[in-house]
Amino acid sequence: MSETLNSHLEPLKIVLVEDDPVMQMGLVQFLSAHSAIKIVGKAADGYAAIAIVSQLQPDLVIMDVGLPQLDGIEATQQLKIKLPNVRILMLTSHAEETEIIAALSCGANGYCIKGTSLQQLLNAIALYKKGQFTSIRRSLES
């Protein structure tokens, strides 16, 4: 059963942290098409992520791991110290178990591998809106 985003409620405020401009643009277009989601900010490195998330205090941060200057794992750790209630979903191509464990150990609430279907990403966001933890991994059959 897939989760759904309730468009009758106030939109979920999301900050997107992605250094690949094409990926960032695609995610912004896709997520902005849903009335239950509002992209309130974007960043392309870990330091910018900390600054914008601290300023905007979104409902959810979608964070890449492989960021320039300060990686997403360290940025997540610093954000969780400053804003312990911020929810962070890692969305990255880093599928190594050590990266996943490091991200979750630093406070990330969930982990999605790039290549996850867009519907699965929406399902993960819907679960976050409900306050539930999720970790979605791309199927080996994909």
Q: What is the pLDDT of residues 8-59, one digit of tens each?
A: 568 899 999 999 999 999 999 999 999 889 999 999 999 999 999 999 999 9
Cβ neighbours for 91, distance < 8 A, ≥ 6 positions apart: 18, 27, 62, 63, 64, 112, 114, 116, 121
Q: Tell me which amino acid residue 134 is.
A: T
Q: Which of 125, 113, 117 is nearest to 88 (CA)?
A: 125
* Per-domain residue ranges of the chain: 12-129
Q: Using the structure block, give the residue that is written with the tokens 């914008």.
A: 52
pLDDT, one tens digit per residue, over 63-74 is: 999 999 999 999
CATH 3.40.50.2300 for domain 12-129, yes or no, is yes
